[in-house]
Amino acid sequence: MTVDQSPAWTALNKHAEELGNKHLKDLFAEDDQRFDRFSFSAAHCLADFSKQRISSNTLEKLIQLAEQQRLPEKIEALFTGEHVNTSEDRPALHTALRQPKEIPLRLGEADISQEIHSSLERMETLVEQIHNGQWRGYDGSPITNVINIGVGGSDLGPLMACRALNMFTSAEIRHIEVHFVSSMDGSQLARLLNKIDPASTLFIVSSKSFSTIDTLANSNTAREWLVNASGLSSELISQHHFIGITASPTKASEWGIPEKNQLHFWDWTGGRYSMWSAIGMAIALHTGNDNFRKMLAGAHEMDSHFRHTPLTENLPALLGMIGIWNINFLDIHAHAILPYDGRLQHLPAYLEQLEMESNGKSVTLNGDKFDYSTCPILWGEVGPNAQHAFYQLLHQGTESVMCDFIAPALRYQEYGEELQAQHQLTLANCLAQSRLLALGDSVLDNADNAPLHKRYRGNQPSTTIILDELTPESFGALIAMYEHKVYVQSVIWEINPFDQWGVELGKQVATSLLDQFTDPVAAKTDSSTEGLIRFVQQQRRE
């Protein structure tokens, strides 16, 4: 029996028939306590679910579904290192990476807490050496530019965190600029190499597998650039200018990263869950080791809340279950992520990978096909900019979309009045948009008389997440909350959120197509692919 045939699912289906057609404006009119009833807070975050199309009865039934799917047990399984990543037969222990040193965690024979903290301390030592000018380039120059080369989970988390926490970078470490290069097409790298000094540049090659072609292609180009600029051997250059962060040390050594320049993490850390490991070195370099630790502490606060709080008040559980309600019972398959704070500009891209690579699945843990929907299509943009781009569709288009609005309560406390006024303006816009999306033009007195092209139907559900302030702690908690939300949904859908087999075949096909470019009579493909290759080659000759 799949979950969609279960009693709790059937009860929710029935409930959706009764409540599903009710407009949010009516739900608000019937109950002026919705905010008190449906907002919950923990670990620096308040989540207001009152603009979701739910009643108390909906929440009760969703919790019944979570209990039926044994969510509390599955949460414990995650934290205690059970093999929740079934297709790869290993645990998913990203929560262990942010656990304080004194809390032991046994995995087989080893207390991995000690291993995790030695790796963290080793990373901190390297960070300090770079910060205080002890790490030198090939001509003795101290490092002023660090370039993180990585893609997906080895890029998006560190990039997002560096931008989010930029204002926490102290004056003493501002002389080091941290850059990110991910795309295999080389555009980001080429732009940087044109303007920086090779002797004072350090590359961090971040790759769990150390076999991702995108990352290796960029790393090869970077090393060639340094060898050409210095006239030195590739070995010498690697010693002074490359750090490798990986769970595959042999491959890193084969590529040429000396062992003393390697930082390791573990196969039980999923790529998209890895910013808490040494993969986060760019974050520590940019914001300081102390802020990196604060970020871990904030995430740990959310972990403890998730592990120990009853489902009825558990933020990640509620976020996940209300998502299930929208997707599986209200038939909403688009999800917009809308931060009202430019520092969170990379949050949408980060969540796109976190949610869609984790839960974009259609086979159960037992390998059975099913018919219900899983992860929706996620996208997003900094809210104020998105207002001038795709909000038209949210307000008047034909698609139902669920939205997450995210903003800090406080900002610019130590700045002038004008910037504080800008923050108020931003918050007013954030609240105005979620209000209008929920209630439509019922917020006006005479909306009924307006022509149709001026009408706003409303009834688009949203969650508003308010952080007390954007700090390393609240940022860590926010990201941990989303990680756990993804896990909650995977438990309900009975899928494995920790593998990503769907990205493998594309890599293989690309490798075999590469041969077609040099040898057009190689393996037969299809008329489109062959035609396009022929066209590209004709352009080359002309």
Q: What are the residues binding ligand F6P (CB under 6 A)?
A: 151-154, 207-209, 212, 215, 271-272, 357, 500, 503
Identity at 413, one-letter amino acid code: Q
The H or E element spanning position 147 is strand 145-149
Q: Measured between alpha carbons, how far is 439 from 384 in angstroms, rounded to an integer?
A: 20
- Please identify, using beta-carbon distances, which residue of 9 and 273 lies nearer to ligand F6P: 273
- Please identify, using beta-carbon distances, which residue of 204 and 430 lies nearer to ligand F6P: 204
Active-site entry in 301, 357, 381, 494: 357
Nearest of 338, 305, 531 to residue 429 by alpha carbon: 338
> How distant is the alpha carbon of residue 492 from its chain centre?
20
- Please identify, using beta-carbon distances, which residue of 8 and 278 lies nearer to ligand F6P: 278
Alpha-carbon distances, residue 229 vs 78, 188, 196, 224, 454 (angstroms): 48, 19, 12, 8, 62
Q: Other C-beta atoms within 10 Å of 175: how many?
A: 11
Pick left, alpha or beta for residue 44 (phi over 0 → left; psi -120 to 50 → alpha; otherwise beta).
left
**Burial zone of 322 (CB within 10 Å; 0-12 exposed, 13-18 middle, 19+ buried):** buried
- Please identify, using beta-carbon distances, which residue of 97 and 382 lies nearer to ligand F6P: 97
Q: Is 357 a catalytic residue?
A: yes
Write out 19-74 in H/E/C secondary structure.
HCCCCHHHHHHHCCCHHHHHEEEECCEEEECCCCCCCHHHHHHHHHHHHHCCHHHH
- Please identify, using beta-carbon distances, which residue of 92 and 403 lies nearer to ligand F6P: 92
Q: Other C-beta atoms within 10 Å of 369: how many?
A: 8
Q: Is 507 a catalytic residue?
A: yes
Least distance in angstroms from the C-beta of 453 to ligand F6P: 43
Nearest of 373, 298, 361, 368 to residue 334 by alpha carbon: 373
**Burial call 3-42: b when 16+ CB within 10 Å, e when fewer:** beeeebbeebeebbeebeeebbbebbeeeeebeeebebeb
Least distance in angstroms from the C-beta of 154 to ligand F6P: 4
Pick left, alpha or beta for residue 152 (phi over 0 → left; psi -120 to 50 → alpha; otherwise beta).
left
Q: Measured between alpha carbons, how far is 381 from 368 in angstroms, rounded to an integer?
A: 36
Active-site entry in 195, 260, 308, 388: 388
Do residues 486 and 307 make contact, with C-beta atoms less than 8 angstroms apart? no
Identity at 307, one-letter amino acid code: R
Sequence-distant (≥ 6) Cβ neighbours of residue 123 within 8 angstroms = 263, 278, 280, 281, 284
Do residues 460 and 401 make contact, with C-beta atoms less than 8 angstroms apart? yes
Active-site entry in 14, 83, 175, 507: 507
Q: Other C-beta atoms within 10 Å of 519: how many?
A: 9
- Please identify, using beta-carbon distances, which residue of 95 and 274 lies nearer to ligand F6P: 274
Q: Measured between alpha carbons, how far is 281 from 143 in angstroms, rounded to an integer?
A: 15
- Please identify, using beta-carbon distances, which residue of 88 and 128 lies nearer to ligand F6P: 88
3-state secondary structure (DSSP) of residue 403:
strand
- Please identify, using beta-carbon distances, which residue of 211 and 309 lies nearer to ligand F6P: 211
Residue in the block written with tokens 């594309």: 506
- Please identify, using beta-carbon distances, which residue of 208 and 240 lies nearer to ligand F6P: 208
Least distance in angstroms from the C-beta of 88 to ligand F6P: 12
Identity at 66, one-letter amino acid code: A
Q: Is 15 a catalytic residue?
A: no
Least distance in angstroms from the C-beta of 437 to ligand F6P: 32
Sequence-distant (≥ 6) Cβ neighbours of residue 451 within 8 angstroms = none
Do residues 98 and 297 make contact, with C-beta atoms less than 8 angstroms apart? yes
- Please identify, using beta-carbon distances, which residue of 3 and 156 lies nearer to ligand F6P: 156
Q: Measured between alpha carbons, how far is 44 from 23 in angstroms, rounded to an integer?
A: 31
Active site residues: 357, 388, 507
